[in-house]
Structure 1
Amino acid sequence: MTTRTPTLFLSHGAPTLPIDPSLPSGGFTVLSEHLPRPQSVLMLSAHWGTMRPAVSTAKQPETIHDFYGFPRALYEIQYPAPGAPEMAQRAAALLREQGVPVDEEAHGLDHGAWVPMLLMFPDADVPVAQLSVQPRANAAHHFALGRALRSLRDEGVMVIGSGQITHNLREADFSARPEDADPRVAEFTEWFENHLAARDIDALLDYRQRAPHAALMHPTDEHLLPVFAALGAADDDYTLGVQSLGTYQRALAMTNYVFGSAVQ
């Protein structure tokens, strides 16, 4: 019997994560070693936003270098994982069954997708497709997307949300050490983790009103929206795994969450 896959939320950090030794790239490798190997990955990245949901049906997604001003070595990285067009179409069908209109296009892998995939599956042998986020929609919308996709997990699909648990680049100091973290980062992440552990979905969906420093940690929502899709795709009685890799550039917490299942 196929093991029901966990769902994940990953704080993917700066694009330089794979090449900057001061960043915790090794944590993603360790995380992957403790997870079941998926048959494919459905990735929701903060860096692919559309007005309404879209799935990528590319058979061989290109590696998109959607950033500028970084070292040349970063632009030379290719992540040649195969696409998962049939799984993407299955995801689209599940959403349409819930009345959600979905577009299909041959979108490549943006850095929110290929950076963590590169670190977790360096052989590029796990098929991957993307589902876009809707930056103008709220947390409840993305939770509902995940809920509609829950059955994919019984087919060996790992649903991964890739964003950042705190993301305010205006507050970032790129010369800061991890110990220089803004204390408000910890206050926000502790609130979020406590409510994840309590499975307090109502509070989490209303985080902008209830969480401390929410507007400061997320001036805009797009880097947190993927967590709600991963949460929606998880079991109601999920077990929470937390991988805290520290806070970088003073304001960017590198925390990963695993929503596990006891169902085999």
Structure 2
Amino acid sequence: MLPSYFFAHGAPSLVIEDHEYTAFLKNVAASLPRKPKAIVIFSAHWEHNVQQVSAVQTHGTIYDFSGFPDELYRMTYPASGDAALSEQVLSLLNGAGIPVVPDTNRGLDHGSWAVLKLIYPDADIPVVALSVNRYLSNAEQYEIGKALGELRGQDVLIIGSGGIVHNLRQIKWGTGPETVDPWALEFDTWIEQRLQEWNLDELFRYLELAPYADRAVPTREHFIPLLLAMGSGDAGRDAELLHRSYQWGSLSLTAWRFN
């Protein structure tokens, strides 16, 4: 059975950056026991109030950002879709009572392709992308991931792409990785403990219980992929922190594996 993962995707420029986190991502594929047959990925940058599942033949590339280096706008990630897997995902979610519809047009946004391009640069593994819905409860997010957990036994790699501490208004441009805002680290550490203990009760109530939660998670869409990836690991309930570093004071670059 393959593990599932949560990866922070940072800024769109992550894909052209050179630091400890990008080096870590480039080594993820080698750490897996075998090459996945397909990838299911939830991106914080695809929001919809009804669960969407991509059902395309080949993914286009969405440049959902502005003001970044020109080379980013020339990048593509033309991974194929997987019609059979899309149908299976739809069936699993429907079976769990989760309203879901296929999407036959949308390409991959940078929450997906910037991460995937570092892990599997050849885009030679089929991808099925899924949206996130910030209006569902945290328990409902977890259940979506849990409904897809059996795919891991079919050599499907499940990824949630977002950010645990992600507040663009708190960024201190120009600061190096050695600068970490104490409030960001305190929130991250609180989340770390609940993940490792698999303490769902407190984790689902992070907004009321965790220190600096409103500051670390001003909007929920980047945090949701963590709960989705975690839910897909419900059978094993083993959470492992693989990497944590920071950009510009508080933007956390975090990787979690759920076994």
The percentage of aligned residue pairs carrying the same residue is 36
Question: Residue 251 of structure 2 corresponds to which residue in structure 1?
Answer: 252
Sort the Cα spacing of 1:95 and 1:128 in 2 relative to 1 into closer, same or farther, 3 A. same
Question: Residue 57 of structure 1 corresponds to which residue in structure 2?
Answer: 55
Is residue 18 from structure 1 mapped to residue 15 from structure 2 by the alignment?
Answer: yes
**Superposition pairs for residues 37-116 of structure 1, below 5 Å?**
37-106=35-104, 107-116=106-115
Gapped runs of 5+ residues in structure 2? none
Local SS of the residue matching 2:42:
strand
Question: Residue 223 of structure 2 corresponds to which residue in structure 1?
Answer: 224
CA contact (8 A) 1:17 1:23 kept: no
d(CA) in 2 for partners of 1:129, 1:8: 15
d(CA) in 2 for partners of 1:149, 1:237: 14
How many pairs are equivalent?
257
Local SS of the residue matching 1:242:
strand
d(CA) in 2 for partners of 1:138, 1:15: 28
Question: What's the offset of the Cα at 1:136?
Answer: 1.9
Question: Residue 185 of structure 1 corresponds to which residue in structure 2?
Answer: 184
d(CA) in 1 for partners of 2:236, 2:59: 34
Per-residue CA deviations over 1:8-37 (Å, capped at 9, x if unaligned) read 000011100121335731110122221232
CA contact (8 A) 2:149 2:235 kept: no
CA contact (8 A) 2:44 2:221 kept: yes
Question: What's the offset of the Cα at 1:182?
Answer: 0.6
Local SS of the residue matching 1:257:
strand
**Superposition pairs for residues 193-204 of structure 1, below 5 Å?**
193-204=192-203
Question: Residue 242 of structure 2 corresponds to which residue in structure 1?
Answer: 243
Question: What's the offset of the Cα at 1:244?
Answer: 2.2
Per-residue CA deviations over 1:140-198 (Å, capped at 9, x if unaligned) read 12101011111111211111100011100000012111122111111111111111111
Per-residue CA deviations over 1:51-95 (Å, capped at 9, x if unaligned) read 110100011010111111111000001111111222111111111
Question: Residue 144 of structure 1 corresponds to which residue in structure 2?
Answer: 143
Local SS of the residue matching 2:84:
helix
Question: Residue 27 of structure 1 corresponds to which residue in structure 2?
Answer: 24
Local SS of the residue matching 1:131:
strand
d(CA) in 2 for partners of 1:251, 1:232: 26
CA contact (8 A) 2:49 2:133 kept: yes
CA contact (8 A) 2:21 2:243 kept: no
CA contact (8 A) 2:6 2:160 kept: yes
CA contact (8 A) 1:17 1:24 kept: no
d(CA) in 2 for partners of 1:22, 1:150: 32
**Superposition pairs for residues 118-137 of structure 1, below 5 Å?**
118-137=117-136
d(CA) in 1 for partners of 2:234, 2:19: 35
d(CA) in 2 for partners of 1:143, 1:238: 12
Question: Residue 161 of structure 2 corresponds to which residue in structure 1?
Answer: 162
> Counterpart of 2:181 in structure 1: which amino acid?
D
Question: Which range is displaced more, 98-107 or 67-76?
Answer: 98-107
Question: Residue 6 of structure 1 corresponds to which residue in structure 2?
Answer: 3
> Counterpart of 2:14 in structure 1: which amino acid?
L
d(CA) in 1 for partners of 2:183, 2:121: 34
